[in-house]
Structure 1
Amino acid sequence: MPTIAYHDFADYLNRATAAEWPAVTLVCGEEMLCKKAFDGVLDRLLPEAQRTMALERFDGGEDNLAGVLSSLNTYALLTSSKVVVLQDARLFYSAKAQQALREKMTQAARSGEMKKASRPFLNLLALCGLTFDDLKTATARRKVVDDEAGEAPPWLVQLIDYCRENSLRIPDKKDDADLLKTAMQKGFPDGHRLVITTDFVDRRKALFKAIDETGLVVDCAVPKGETRADRMAQDQVMQTAIAEALHPAEKRMAGDARQRLIQWTGFDLRTLSGNLEKLINFVGDRQTITDADVTAVLQRTRKDPIFEFTSAIADKDLSASLFYLHSLLEEGMHPLQLLAAAANQIRRLLLARDFVERDQGRTWNDKMSFPQFKGAAFKAVQADDAAFASLIDGWAATLNPPAEGKKRKSTATSDLVLAKNPKSPFPVFQTLKKASRFSLPALKAAMVDLSVTDRRMKSTGQNPRTLLEAFLLRFCR
């Protein structure tokens, strides 16, 4: 059976009956969407009255798969139907999941939500084969979290203490995927169903392919990136969540109120749900929620991506640059991280402006449209990148020639090229557009200014926040 996307799942629920439901269902992706999809599955498979006798839940981080399979093969009292649930399963994790687990853990821990951060933290430790004590060494710690100024972030100690105080253990590092796959091939008693929930899946795993082929996969994943397509997908999910919350309460929301709610919340469905509940209660009998209601009841809780900060710098938008600087610092981001992000952005602008100067209007001009850019101009950028990479390789070969009879590997120069991804020309187009607002001397001076700011941050007692603010004032003026 093909994978069903979350936005198509309601239609599937309306058509499918419990009798024809597959033996194994996997619900994966965004936490709040998974919960809604899981509730829909359970409502279809098992009436409320039967759940005391015919529903058994297992925790993927605490319980072993042998117990899950034993329950599946044990008949329920007084009913032929039975549903066994394996929540927060780790069966589909791989090394690919590590970065996503780090992000989920860090975001929750920085917000003080240690309970929410504990599960991805423990799963990450299991994947890396580490213990709490291993995190005392910087080498092991780097597999789990980024140090701040050479030290572990303050919240890491709090997170470890929370896990120890609540007797939360690191799951065993073992892969039960083959065990479940074999059990699926043998089959389960008629009327017995297994429902699995998880946040991350590696679709290359044989177990995932087996469930996708013979069972049902409900895909609740939402892209977390900052591309236009990712943001549109996130916005669609949030708009749907708002509509689902307002409809049963018979409320409407003004367009500007809806826009501010999304802007203040960011892509956080749990917070969005709580904010909507507050607004519905606040307006009482009134049908329409206004922008004034949002500003009166809510506070801005959105966790700003560093992309917003660097984009404001490239736009020379002083107000936005300062806003995101303060927001990111308050979220716990280290000043040196923000300084490095600013340096990377200005370095890219410098590369772009240098290309514009040397191109002299032959292929590029700042009035051209994106479709025009994708032709000769983008090919010129790629050729320029290739020439520069060849130059760097030549320098490296001269300074460090390869051993006789061996070829030298090409030097990685990804931070010194404009078209990092040849299949994605739009970011390059945007960078060239923004670089046209600056002169080459101004960008060179900004890199020198950043170097001075970096030295002052590390060698003087000056406030890092003040130093960053001063740099932005000079650069964006």
Structure 2
Amino acid sequence: LIYGEEEYLMKDALDQIIEHILPQDDREFNLFLTDGENEDIDAICESIITPPLLPGNKVVAIKNTRLFQSKTSAAVLIKEIIENLEKDKQKAASTFMAFLDVAGWSFEDLRDGGWEKIPDSDWGKMVKGEVEKKREDWLPEIIKLCIYLDIKQRFNSRDTDRLEEVLEGTIPGGNSLVLTADKVDKQKKIFKVISKEGVVITFPAAKPKSGARKDLLMERTGKVLAKSGKRLSPEALQELGRRTGFNLRMSQKEIEKLITYAGDKETIDKRDIDAIVGKSSEDSIFDLTAAIVDKDTEKALMTFKDLLNQGVHYMVILSMIIREIRFLLQGKILLKGGSIPSFHQRMHYRDFQNMIYPGLKELAKKMGKNSEWLTGQHPYVVYNNLKNSERYSYDGLLEYMERLVDCDIELKTKGVNPKLVLERLLIYMCS
């Protein structure tokens, strides 16, 4: 069990454990990986006691499990729901389903005004006076959101008896269960069983600007950069930390962009940080489109919220998503048409800038293409879109364009909530 508040470190620990136990070639058949929203205890138990398809080790990994939550977590979960109703609706809906699990309530019983039938005494026992906001101020809203997003209640976290029996019994040699969780109730039997039969690793939150967090950022970014033959200057490291609040996950994302941007240059300096890392609306648009390409729903929704907070109109956001998909389509056409046969996904940005981009500019002139086309963009934009276009099929990109056109019409002609429409669009595109 890996638990705590340092999400990046927990993910890194999970990846390292899987890498240590299971060779890459065996993971297609011997790795059972799922998320807490979709976990099924019977399926987990069957997977643990079943020998691997290929000879060797087998890993059953559950990310963000709900197994360790209990009624003592209810008030904390409600606070998270309320906090995320505005900034991260997908997370709010997911957390609400976790709350229903620990409360023992059915979503079907609460919808259509059913929540009003919960006796005040039952509600009081659940929240224990720790939630200031009245339920009528947020409960109807989260229920409507779950209906709109088509979120289903799939799991009852109380039914852990069978899993406890399996873990206390005989598991086939070479089979491993790895779980990650942000919060745990140490009084639950399942926690005590895992503590006795297995290993528990915790990553408590470090203070954002503490020396430990800075040292950790230096260590982690150093490892990533070393694999690419690069390093950060001391000034660049300090500036990166200042702009990201020494947040490991955010810093990691920025490092990936910096590695690409630096090309063959070994040392990333403060000028590179100034050029790439920031919180302007352009940076956030870059992050949003990158999240869509990476199919990272959580990041896409979070970045969408950042853009709204920066005052960017929802139609501008939609137009930028349309623009990105159009560029990916144009990149796909260029690659399929053989216009740039020497380009490949592993090509460094500097090589692209020197060897490929001048030819593309000439091609654009001959074709009479204007600044609205991919070839009229900054070379870094062209480079990224060509790379990313290879991750999609031509038909898949056309399907996205059709969905975007439908979304544009819906926003312009119907009295709909634009935030919900775009959030649903992002969830669809990242699925």
Q: Specify the TM-score bucket, using the shorter chain as the normaliser.
A: 0.5 to 0.7
- Check if 1:273 corresponds to 2:248: no
Aligned position for 2:366: none
- Show CA shifts across 1:390-424 (max 9, x none): xxxxxxxxxxxxxxxxxxxxxxxxxxxxxxxxxxx
Q: Separation in 1 of the partners of 2:7 and 2:140? A: 23
**8 Å CA contact 1:110, 1:331 repeated in 2:** no
Q: Separation in 2 of the partners of 1:85 and 1:46? A: 12
Give 1:127's match in structure 2, choosing from 102, 109, 124.
Answer: 102
Aligned position for 1:180: 163
**8 Å CA contact 1:265, 1:300 repeated in 2:** no
Q: Percent identity?
A: 28
Shift of 1:200: 1.6
**8 Å CA contact 1:54, 1:83 repeated in 2:** yes
- Show CA shifts across 1:138-158 (max 9, x none): 98799698659x9957x994x
Give 1:208's match in structure 2, choosing from 177, 187, 191.
Answer: 191
Structure 2 CA distance for partners of 1:85 and 1:294, relative to 1, 3 Å: same
Amino acid paired to 1:124: F
Amino acid paired to 2:182: D
Give RMSD over aligned pairs.
4.0
Task: Give unpaired runs (5+ residues) of structure 2.
Answer: 281-305, 312-431
Shift of 1:290: 2.5
Alignment of 1:78-117 (within 5 A): 78-95=54-71, 97-98=73-74, 101=77, 110-111=86-87, 113-117=88-92
Structure 2 CA distance for partners of 1:233 and 1:147, relative to 1, 3 Å: farther
Q: Separation in 1 of the partners of 2:103 and 2:24? A: 40
Structure showing the higher helix proportion among its residues:
2
- Check if 1:167 corresponds to 2:150: yes
Aligned position for 2:285: none
SS in 2 for 1:79: coil
Structure 2 CA distance for partners of 1:244 and 1:188, relative to 1, 3 Å: same
Shift of 1:79: 1.9
- Check if 1:263 corresponds to 2:239: no
- Check if 1:67 corresponds to 2:46: no
Shift of 1:69: 0.8
Give 1:237's match in structure 2, choosing from 192, 216, 219.
Answer: 216
- Check if 1:297 corresponds to 2:307: no
Paired residues, what number? 273
Aligned position for 2:225: 246
Amino acid paired to 2:173: D
SS in 1 for 2:47: helix
- Check if 1:221 corresponds to 2:204: yes
- Show CA shifts across 1:107-140 (max 9, x none): 66544x4444443343234334564647987987
Structure 2 CA distance for partners of 1:105 and 1:272, relative to 1, 3 Å: farther
Task: Give unpaired runs (5+ residues) of structure 1.
Answer: 1-25, 302-326, 333-477
**8 Å CA contact 2:75, 2:131 repeated in 1:** no
**8 Å CA contact 2:240, 2:246 repeated in 1:** no
Q: Separation in 2 of the partners of 1:260 and 1:146? A: 39
Structure 2 CA distance for partners of 1:191 and 1:280, relative to 1, 3 Å: closer
Q: Separation in 1 of the partners of 2:22 and 2:205? A: 28
Structure 2 CA distance for partners of 1:109 and 1:279, relative to 1, 3 Å: farther
TM-score w.r.t. the length of structure 2 is 0.52
Aligned position for 1:53: 29
Aligned position for 2:288: none
Shift of 1:286: 2.4
- Show CA shifts across 1:247-273 (max 9, x none): 212222233322222222125433221
Q: Separation in 1 of the partners of 2:213 and 2:72? A: 22
